[in-house]
Amino acid sequence: MKEKVGVYVCHCGSNIAGIVDVEEVAKWAGVNLEDVVVSKDYKFMCSSLGQELIEEDIKKDGLTRIVVAACSPHLHEKTFRRAAETAGMNPYLTQMANIREHISWTTKDKKAATEKVKAMVAAAVERVKVQEPLEPKFVDVNPNTLVIGGGIAGIQASLELADAGYHVYLVEREPSIGGHMAQFDKTFPTLDCSACILTPKMSDVGLHENITLMTWAELEELSGSVGNFKAKIRKRAKYVDEVLCTGCGICIEKCPRKVVDNVFEAGLGVRKAIYVPFAQAVPKYPVIDTETCIYFDTGKCKACEKFCPTDAIVWDQKDEIIEVDVGNVIIATGWDLFDCKRIPQYGYGRIANVFTNLEFERMCNAAGPTAGKIFMRDGVTEPKSIGIVHCVGSRDKNYNEYCSAVCCMAALKFGHLVMEKTEAEVYSFYIDMRPNQKGYEEFYQRLLDEGMNFVRGKVADISDVPRLPGEEGKIVVQVQDTLLGKQRRIPLDVVVLMGAMEPRFDAKDLGLKVGISCSMAGWFTERHPKLDPVATMTDGIFIAGACQGPKDIPAAVAQGAAAAARVQGMIAKGKVMIEPIVATIREESCSGCRICNNLCPYNAIEYLAEKEVSRVLHELCKGCGTCVAACPAQAITGAHFSNEQIFAELKGILYDAMGETERAAEPAVK
């Protein structure tokens, strides 16, 4: 039976029609392409009227295949598949030609654009004729959810889901949840105490019957797909029995080994070898850090064990691998601070009184190493002047091009705290001030009124070598003041560098584990930057908070809640569709060479020894097609991307080149 193909060319308003002669293309396709029985152009194909047009033609003219030349299939493939299905056609007998993103928006020459559109439409028509009906598969959605990362975004997501009655496995790498927010003293612009608003949420997580909290733990492996993931989680040995431990803290008090805490105290304070990161930690049980513990180093000590009133120290505890089944995964792994040593001219690590923003946070924090007093590095002298340098490692082509989004406000907050707590004069060295959320501009105005000095200009150099009188014993910030229009040298006691927010050092590894990608800067990539900011290209994997890009607390919380809402939507649906794009091996053609076996990263191909053939396990296959391309006997077909379909597409896409080939086949040479 001959196929009856309908071709629909979209104007997309003037987005396509402004460059491409859509009427001409539609007319051309109707006349020149074999088996095309209907060919139309329409103002907006994706509108309900556009879809109805297709549906009517399918019913009226008995169309068996549909080609829509419009935008990217990533945007509207589903729309047109649904329209076809409504009219009683198999949804996989549709094909889109991407003539907007790939042609009209990228081409200046109208004639060339129209010619290219013809080739793309011809390709789609040739391809659609050999496409095969496929049946989408539906699988049940497991209502449990895995949340990776226990910062504020992960906490919010977990609580939303748990409160809705669904079970959550929350995995956190550190001994306690809380993330970066737990390190902060005050939150801008309202200046509420960070711990006061965070700790109730943390304890809610700890006590919630629907949350299984796993701290000191990391995701080891994720397999399966949307609706039915299997996660392997490595719970590192804490050497503390959580059932016996009461969290009294005597072990911590008695531990003789003090180490610099580079995580929670950002290197500014110390902790013990057995520790909880901070007083309000959830869970409250300590862990033993084997790298610094004297017993693990020398075999002697065991002070913690001796003083523990409940015998909760267990030396032979081993890492545990816990397997959980979940339907969806939310990733909220947050950010790392830019290593300010990478900008040597700013002197961090060389000049004692140059601090990072996280160090300064800890210094301002009443529960921090200085009990909230602002001192110079010696720990006793109160500074008389402080400079805050914005955009350290961000908005800078040499490090990170993006804006870290929170530093302006954090710098203003620091300015306020310094002026509140000390007599010091405060300078802010900024390039652009970006207080662009609710209440932020007002906070900026407040700091202007409070007398913070603002110097607009990029800091060139921070030095402790005096050049002019008055610079002895000071740190000198060299800056071009672009408002005054001159170079300035400003001597200060303390300088705070507002280091950039960077992707977690191991974000890429995690991305590979769960199958999502990172942007060039290293942040996890969302499905759509505007319309789908918490979903990813991998169904069932969501991202929330600063792992997606720099964010302040309100934005991270909003994303945590949004991701949870998306997951609830998945759970409420109960079933989820899985694309039937998988590979299949034809047994009769398979020689059992086993070339394909090791190519599959999902172990979806098994070898049947008794039959001497291989077989694809459809529930594991993700449809990449690498095995299809590798099979020397062409015994493997890739659904929706078969050789036949690609060759047909090639024939169409080069429809205007064929003549030349034929001419070349009979050369006038020799």
Partner 1 sequence: MSDGTFEPKIVGFLCNWCSYRAADLAGSSRVKYPPNVRIIRVMCSGRVDPTFALKAFELGADGVLLAGCHPGECHYLEQNYKAMRRFSMLKHTLRAMKLEEERFQLLWASAAEGNRFAEHVAKMTEEVRKLGPLSWRRNWIEKGLDDKEIEKFLKEHEEAMEVPAR
Q: Which residues bind partner 1 (CB under 8 A)?
A: 72-74, 98, 100-103, 105-109, 112-113, 115-116, 119-120, 123, 508, 511-512, 515, 517-521, 525, 537-538, 581, 591-593, 599, 601, 622-626, 628-630, 632, 638, 641, 643, 646-647, 649-651, 653-654, 656-658, 660-661, 663-665, 667, 669-670
Looking at the Cβ atoms of 398 and 661, the one nearer to partner 1 is 661
118 vs 235 by CB, closer to partner 1: 118
Dihedral sign, CA of 29, 30, 32, 34? Answer: positive
Backbone angles phi, psi at 297, to 5 degrees: -85, -45
Assign 314 to helix, strand or coil: coil
Least distance to partner 1, CB of residue 230, Å: 16
Structure tokens belonging to residue 336: 């790392």
Partners of 94 in the beta sheet? 66
In the complex, minimum distance from the CB of residue 116 to partner 1, in angstroms, rounded to a whole number: 5
Please state, in angstroms and rounded to a whole number, the distance separating the CA atoms of residues 480 and 387. Answer: 15
- Residue 436 CB, shortest distance to partner 1, in Å, is 22
Q: How far is the CB of 49 from partner 1 (least distance, A)?
A: 25
Whether the CB-CB separation of 321 and 220 falls below 8 Å is answered with yes
CB of 331 or CB of 557, closer to partner 1: 331
Least CB distance to partner 1 at residue 81 (A): 15
Q: In 395-472, which residue ranges form alpha helices assigned H by DSSP?
A: 407-421, 440-450
Least Å from the CB of residue 113 to partner 1 = 6
- Give whichever of 48 and 603 is closer to partner 1, judged by the CB atom: 603
Residue 529, CB half-sphere, CA atoms under 13 Å: how many?
A: 4
Closest to partner 1 by CB, 137 or 373: 137
Q: Residue 18 CB, nearest distance to partner 1 (Å)?
A: 12
Residue 121 or 412: the one with the smaller Cβ distance to partner 1 is 121
Opening angle at CA 583, ends 578 and 587, nearest 5: 135
Least distance from partner 1 to the Cβ atom of residue 607, Å:
13
Relative orientation angle of helices 553-573 and 152-163, to the nearest 10 degrees = 30
Compute φ and ψ for 659, nearest 5 degrees: -55, -45
DSSP string, 480-548: EETTTTEEEEEEESEEEEEEPEEE-TTHHHHHHHHT--B-TTSPBPPSBTTTBSSB-SSTTEEE-GGGS
CB of 74 to partner 1, least distance (A): 6
The CB density around residue 496, as the number of other CB atoms within 10 Å, is 28
Give the residue with the Cβ less far from partner 1, 151 or 652.
Answer: 652
Report the residue number, 46 or 53, with the smaller CB distance to partner 1: 46
Angle among Cα 222, 225, 226 to the nearest 5 degrees reads 120
Nearer to partner 1, 302 or 622 (CB): 622
Q: Are 113 and 100 within 8 A, CB to CB?
A: no
Closest CA to 628 of 640, 618, 642: 642
d(CA 487, CA 479): 6
